[in-house]
Structures are given as structure tokens and as C-alpha cells.
Amino acid sequence: MYQLYPYFTNDGSVGLYSESDNDIYHSTYGALTEAYEKFILPAEPEYYISKYNEIKILDICYGIGYNSKSFLNFYLKNFLINKNIATIHTNKNISSICNDKIYTNNNLQDRLPICNDEVYTNNNSCINSAYSKSEKQNFKIYIKAIDTDKILAFLSPFVICNKKNIPRNYKLPFTNEKISKMLNKPTKNKIEFLDEINVIFFEKIAEKYPEIFKNEDIKEILKSKKYSHFFEPFICRLFEMKQSQIYKYLPLGYLSAFLHNIHYHHISNRYKKAVNSPIFNDFVLDLKIEDARKELMHDSNRYNLIFLDAFTPAKCPALWSIDFFKVLFEHLEENGKILTYSNSAAVRNAFLNAGFYVGKIYNESSNKYMGTIATKNKNLIKHKLSDYDLGLLKTKAGIYYRDENLTADNDKIIALHKIEVENSNLISSSRYIKTHNKLTEDL
Ligand SMILES: C[S@@+](CC[C@H](N)C(=O)[O-])C[C@H]1O[C@@H](n2cnc3c(N)ncnc32)[C@H](O)[C@@H]1O
């Protein structure tokens, strides 16, 4: 059976550990928070949303989808829902057009229809949805999400992103001292994650990959008690319901569940909220199960935002090589941005040599730099590399990975890199850092 190592990170979102790579997929301080702080907020999506009618995003290493889901969450909260809640509460003369009718704020709840002619009387979000349609008309979101791991990608809509009450002294469900030490430090500013996001992602994935319902690994994982509390019961029920629909003749045992599910399907506000969301039909999740290097060979898109969330360069250099970055250069729109969590000198040097302008990502809440941004437009760099950072690029630490044909495996790329470092005359990074520290002390 496919082995998963899930646990609750400090913000209540599920994080994963990879035993084979001895690496974490997500930060223990919060998988969702990390996606926001390292990818979504520094990308400044509001710039693209207000300027364009469509945004194209490339999510390299989709995993369980935090970066893509966070983008949609950000968009719904900031451009559809929140904006409209403010309108409803503050505007005395509300007039918004939906289905060509004008609504005033008299008895708003009783009179608002949703855009598909259904009437909602008891659900604020539906009211917001109706409003939002007129706020940002037909904005399109296209996300190409790539990962080699089909099982993780299929499980992405199931994982809980917003567990409210993690028990005190929460214990890791497997053994790993490093992760254990980092737990039980609740994240201060928890991000609100909208319930409908996972439903939207589930619908999109199930539509594109109906094989999900027959996948033995998925069925087994969803059935296993070991994992059940990491998955959203609602999405599991939706899965069961759709699964039973695809069998032509229902076994007797399924019948009552099926009937129950039809009912469930029709009354569930959460389901309606998701599929009636103004963005539902304008959102494309183009999920590809493939090596990102191969996938991009046949892709002619230019992206506004590229999220690069591969395992660390020392373990997965295939997605951090200068040759891969040259491919990314061709896929980045002139005012686009590549965001990554890596601060590595080799990564920054590879970006520079592939033709990008390179800067740092600054995180306000921790008052630290925590990643790298690469662009084709130098005006988009807010936090430049310092003289110290640039000096580091000229040491052995700045020697980048190479993968000329974009087909080498990680071990081969690591071996070639090691030889290049050993044969290099550049100074070591430790000597550079010592000299630098001494110079600063002397000043
Ligand atoms: C750090 S995790 C990504 C976490 C993810 N962004 C999320 O929100 O869950 C790294 C991912 O890279 C994927 N991966 C590794 N090599 C890859 C490759 N050559 N092409 C595409 N994906 C790859 C792994 O399957 C893994 O899911």
C-alpha cells in the first residue's frame, strides 16, 4: 500500500513527511501559512487580478495542492466574498445586478436569487456569490499543476486545511524527533480557509480524472482508519456518492447510501456554494501527472506566476538546474514572477545566469527573508540581493546544477555537481562567511 506520513502542522493544516527522502513536504509551522507567506502574498496577485481578465499560474510540484488552493482561497476571499460582505454591510444603497435584475437592500436576504435562478434565503455566502458576479466579471483563472505523484495529487482535495482544535500536546503519529520538537507552537495569525475550495478542487480533479474512483490506492487510503482523521468527511462522502454513481447496476448495499447521497447532494449548502461560486466555471485546474521538465516541453503557455516548490536542491536538483530555469524563462510572461522558498546561492546564481532579475522574499511577520523571486522585469524586484548575497554567489556555494538534456536523474546531477565543486578554484562559502563576519566585526 502507498505509505503516507500525515500530521497536523501548527496552523491546523495537514503536512506530510517523506520517509524515502527523509524530507518534509511542508513547514511544521503551518502548511497553509507557508503557502501564503512564501508564494501567494509575495506574488502580489492583486496586481494581475486588477490588471488582467485572466491569470495563468504554473504550480510546479503540486503535491497536495496548498499553493494552488491558497491562490483560489485568496481570490475568493479578497475579490469576491470579503469585498461583497463589506458592500452588504456598509452600502445603504445597494444595487447590484444579477440575472439582469436590480436588487436593493430592502429584505435583501429574502429576495436575492443566485445566478442560476435558484433562490437562497439562509446563506450569506450565496448572497455574496450573487453580488460578486457583478464585481469582477468573468475573471479567468488557469492553473497548470504538475507533480509526478498521482496519489498525492488525487488526495489533495481530501486533506484538512483548517482543523480548528488540535489537542494540547499533540503527538506526531509516526516517529521523527525533528518534526516533534517543532509541534505544539500554534500559529498566531491563522488563515481562514474557505470550505468550498476543497469541493471545487475535488470536482475539477474528478472531472478530468474519473479513474480516481477506481484507483485501488485511493480507495484503500480513504478506507484506512489510520488516515481518516486527516481527511475531510464531506469530501469522502462526495467521493463515495460519485463512486456509486459510476456503477451501472448498484449492489443492494449501496442503494440506501446512494439515495441518501442524492439527498445530500441536493441539500448541501457547501456543495452548492462551491459549484455556484462565480469562479467555478472560469477556473481551470489543468493537473498533469508528469515530470515537470517533460511536461513543459509540450507547453506553449506563458505564465503570470510560477510557483516552484520542489524538494531542496540538494535532494531534487533536477528542478533547480540552470537548464530547467532557461525553460522557465521561456514560460514566464514579461511581467510575471517565479516564487520559491529557496535561499540557496546555487539557485539564485542559476536564475541570474538563465537571464532573470533576482530578489529576495521578505516576510513581515517573522521579519526575515525567506525565499527567492525571479522576474524578467527588474521593477518587480522589491528586495534586491545585498552585496553579501552577491558575494556568496561567487563562492563554491554559488555553483549551480546542470542538466543539459533535461533528462538526467537526481543522483547523476548531484554527482556531476560534486565533481564541478571539487575541481573549482572558487573560495568556499565558509571561508567567505568567516571573512565577511570578521570585516563586519572590525567596522
Ligand atoms: C515539497 S513537495 C511539494 C508540496 C506541494 N507544493 C504541496 O502544496 O503539497 C515536492 C513535490 O515534488 C514532486 N516532484 C518531485 N520531482 C518532481 C518532478 N521531476 N516533476 C514534478 N514533480 C516532482 C513530489 O512528488 C512532491 O509532491
pLDDT classification of 226: cutoffs 50, 70, 90: very high
Q: Decide: 152 in ligand 1 pocket, CB within 6 A.
A: yes
pLDDT at 105 over 70: no
pLDDT for 243 equals 87
Identify the band that residue 91 occupies on the pLDDT scale cut at 50, 70 and 90. Answer: very low
pLDDT band at residue 234 using 50, 70 and 90 as cut-offs: very high
Specify the pLDDT at position 436.
86
Res. 127: pLDDT tops 50: no
For atom 21 of ligand 1, which residue has the closest CA?
A: 147
The pLDDT value recorded for residue 281 is 94
Measured distance CA(443)–CA(437) in Å, rounded: 10
Ligand 1 atom 27, closest CA: 63
Closest protein CA for atom 7 of ligand 1: 63
Q: What is the mean pLDDT of residues 6-33?
A: 93
Question: Can you tell me which atom of ligand 1 is nearest the CA of 318?
Answer: 19
Q: Is 148 close to ligand 1, i.e. is its CB under 6 Å away?
A: yes
14 lines ligand 1 (CB under 6 A): no
Q: How far is CA 228 from CA 6, 116, 220, 381, in A?
A: 11, 35, 11, 43
Q: pLDDT grade, residue 126 (50/70/90)?
A: very low
Whether 355 has a pLDDT exceeding 70, the answer reads yes
Give the separation between CA 145 and CA 147, rounded to whole angstroms. Answer: 7
Q: What is the pLDDT of residue 189?
A: 83
Q: If pLDDT is split at 50, 70 and 90, which confidence band does 168 have?
A: confident
Closest CA to 332 of 363, 299, 360, 284: 299
- Pick the range with the lowest mean pLDDT from 12-26, 301-315, 369-383: 12-26
Radius of gyration over alpha carbons of the chain, in Å? 24
Confidence band of 175 (pLDDT split at 50, 70, 90):
very high
- Percent above pLDDT 90 for the chain: 71
Average pLDDT of the residues in 266-273 = 78
Residue 84 pLDDT exceeds 50: no
pLDDT at 103 over 60: no
Q: Taking the domains of the chain in order of start, what are their residue ranges?
A: 6-284, 310-442
Best of 148, 151, 193, 198 for a ligand 1 pocket test (most atoms within 8 Å of beta carbon) = 148
pLDDT reported for residue 255: 54
Asked whether residue 185 carries a pLDDT value surpassing 80, the answer given is yes
Higher pLDDT, 94 or 266: 266
pLDDT exceeds 50 at position 439: yes
CA of 301 to the centre of ligand 1 (A): 21
Mean pLDDT (whole number) for 347-370:
94
Residue 257 confidence (pLDDT): 64
Whether 95 shows a pLDDT value over 50: the answer reads: no
Is 67 close to ligand 1, i.e. is its CB under 6 Å away?
yes
If one compares 272 and 38, the residue with the highest pLDDT of the two is 38
pLDDT at 155 over 70: yes
- pLDDT value at position 94? 28
pLDDT of residue 344: 97
**pLDDT for 135:** 56
- Per residue in 281-329, pLDDT (tens digit) is 999 999 999 999 999 999 999 999 999 999 999 999 999 999 999 999 9
Distance 357 CA to ligand 1 centre (A): 25
Band of residue 438 on the pLDDT scale cut at 50, 70, 90: confident
Q: Please compute the mean of the pLDDT values over residues 95-105 and round it to a whole number.
A: 30
Q: Which of 78-82, 261-265, 400-404 has the highest mean pLDDT?
A: 400-404
Is the CB of 151 within 6 Å of ligand 1?
no
Q: What is the pLDDT of residue 165?
A: 86
